[in-house]
Amino acid sequence: MDGIDAVLLETDGIHHVRPLGSLYLNYDPLFHILLKSLEYAVNQTQGNLDKARNSYEDYLKQYLTHALLLKQEQLKQQLTMLQKYLVKQKLSLRFDDIVEHSTILHTKVSLALLNKLQRKPNDIDVIGYHGQTLYHHPKNNLTIQVGNARTLAQRIQTSVVYDFRTNDIENGGQGAPLVPLFHQTLTTRDNLTPAAIFNCGGISNISIITGNTLDDVIAFDIGPGNGLLDRFVKIKTQGKFQIDENAQFAKQGTVHQTVLQTLYEQSCIVDGDNFFRKQPPKSLDIMSFHLPEAVLALNLSDGCATLAEFSAQLMAESLKVAPIPMKHIILAGGGWQNPAILHAFKRHINNNFHTSHIATANDIGWDTQTLEAQAFAFLAVRHLKQLPLSTPKTTGVKAPLSGGKLIKSNSR
């Protein structure tokens, strides 16, 4: 929820992928808080959007108080700042207004990208619009991504594919991760197979590619990338810092092994089961993670160091699932910008696995910043061609399955 990546992609949804340009829109920090409060509201109501809407103001205050740990005076100041932001944007403090504003921002960045590349909306066949994930609970057959695809289609006058995850969940899948088939196209194109692609964002996941058929891809969510670390920093600094930028805190800290074990045992209990002990395919919601008291008791630096080590260990250990040795390990996602996570991961890989090459996505000519935006453009084209977006080995769906819904532009 840090911002929006827009990319213009030339693709057939099968073999050909050619990025033509991109643009990033950074969210205002106050809008980031509003989005996180929507997520909090939906999770507190266990995916009941009507309840989240009707009591949104109360949930916003709860989020500021319980998640950001703001004191009474700080709470008043933050609410005042949020109100000023809303007035400036001509919005009211309503759930649906904030969702609509997110859609408008997606529209603006899309049009700005076209302008930057001297293109027109008519040059585009389709937009892949993932929307903002607020809740993901496949066991309850529920995944919620908000954003008004119709608004996007009308304002840009281009067809939009959206709601990529629901069909998979309704057919017995986890609804995530959906990027692995795009990873397979890239690794096959660039002759990098067999390869493991580790995506480290709020959540970390892995794509294991051993060949060029649908059956040659294994994928699953691993655990926290930098999600728990970011949450810990926000709590410990009362929102002054959002992330441990450049591992400025972790570098000064010490890893606590007993707390590390507590994290394995307590930080991710989903439907009564320890997620880390579940066999793949499996998927997570960012709100599935919990910071145990033992972690919160650590000082800022030691907590950051321990959480970075935890994320790195989980990711490295997930490679044990690979059926054959990986020739390439490719690192994608913003979480790798944290040197503490990166160095710990490389240490674990070098100590436990024989691999010829570890590289970032940028090192091999991929654009890690826009990789997921590219993926959903690719998946939108696959939807138009009724090709699978997921398989039994990527999401646990019963058979390879297409997904997404289409809104056609009025101009087409």
Q: Are residues 2 and 113 in the same domain?
A: yes
At 410 the pLDDT is: 67
Domains held by the chain: number = 2
pLDDT in tens, the chain (412 residues): 889 999 999 999 999 999 999 999 999 999 999 999 999 999 999 999 999 999 999 999 999 998 888 889 999 999 999 999 999 999 999 999 999 999 999 999 999 999 999 999 999 999 999 999 999 999 888 999 999 999 999 999 999 999 999 999 999 999 999 999 999 999 999 999 999 999 999 999 999 999 999 999 999 999 999 999 999 998 898 778 889 999 999 999 999 999 999 999 999 998 889 999 999 999 988 888 999 999 999 999 999 999 999 999 999 999 999 999 999 999 999 899 999 999 999 999 998 887 668 999 999 999 999 999 999 999 999 999 999 999 999 999 999 999 999 999 865 4
Residue 204 lies in a domain: yes
Residue 205 lies in a domain: yes
Q: Are residues 251 and 171 in the same domain?
A: no
Residues 195-198: contacts with CB under 8 Å, at least 24 apart: 195/326, 195/327, 195/328, 195/329, 195/330, 196/319, 196/322, 196/326, 196/328, 196/329, 196/330, 197/330, 197/332, 197/361, 198/315, 198/329, 198/330, 198/331, 198/332, 198/333, 198/345
**Phi–psi pair at 284, nearest 5 degrees:** -130, 160
CATH code, 302: 3.30.420.40
Q: Are residues 132 and 218 in the same domain?
A: no
Q: Are residues 140 and 226 in the same domain?
A: no
Residue 52 lies in a domain: yes
d(CA 161, CA 163): 7
If residue 357 lies in a helix (H) or strand (E), which one and from where to where? strand 357-360
Residue 305 lies in a domain: yes
Task: Report helix, strand or coil for 214.
Answer: helix
Residue 118 lies in a domain: yes
User: Which candidate, 115, 108, 167, 116, places its Cα nearest to that of 143?
Assistant: 167
Q: Are residues 199 and 334 in the same domain?
A: yes
Q: What is the CA radius of gyration of the chain?
A: 21
At 139 the pLDDT is: 85
Q: Are residues 124 and 90 in the same domain?
A: yes
User: Which candidate, 355, 359, 374, 312, places its Cα nearest to that of 5?
Assistant: 374
At 372 the pLDDT is: 94
Reported as half-sphere exposure (CB side, CA atoms, 13 A), residue 181 has a value of 28
The two three-digit tokens of residue 198, written as one number: 């580790």
Bridge partners of residue 32, in order along the sequence: none
d(CA 69, CA 171): 40
Residue 231 lies in a domain: yes
Q: Are residues 136 and 245 in the same domain?
A: no
DSSP 242-294: SS-GGGTTGGG----HHHHHHHHHHS-EETTEEGGGSPSS----GGG----HH
How far, in Å, are 194, 323, 370, 396 from residue 217 at the CA level? 10, 11, 22, 12
At 157 the pLDDT is: 95
Q: Are residues 79 and 226 in the same domain?
A: no
Distance between alpha carbon 361 and the CA centroid of its chain, in Å?
A: 16
User: Are 219 and 177 spatial neighbours (Cβ–Cβ below 8 Å)?
Assistant: yes
At 92 the pLDDT is: 94
Flag whether the pTM goes above 0.85. yes
Q: Are residues 245 and 335 in the same domain?
A: yes
Q: Are residues 164 and 213 in the same domain?
A: no
Residue 124 lies in a domain: yes
Q: Are residues 171 and 208 in the same domain?
A: no
Bridge partners of residue 374, in order along the sequence: none
| Domain with 135 in it | 1-175+403-412
If residue 207 lies in a helix (H) or strand (E), which one and from where to where? strand 203-209
At 214 the pLDDT is: 97
Q: Are residues 407 and 341 in the same domain?
A: no
Residue 370 lies in a domain: no
At 412 the pLDDT is: 47
Examine the fold and report which residue of 328, 345, 360 is the final residue of a domain before the chain moves on: 360
At 68 the pLDDT is: 81
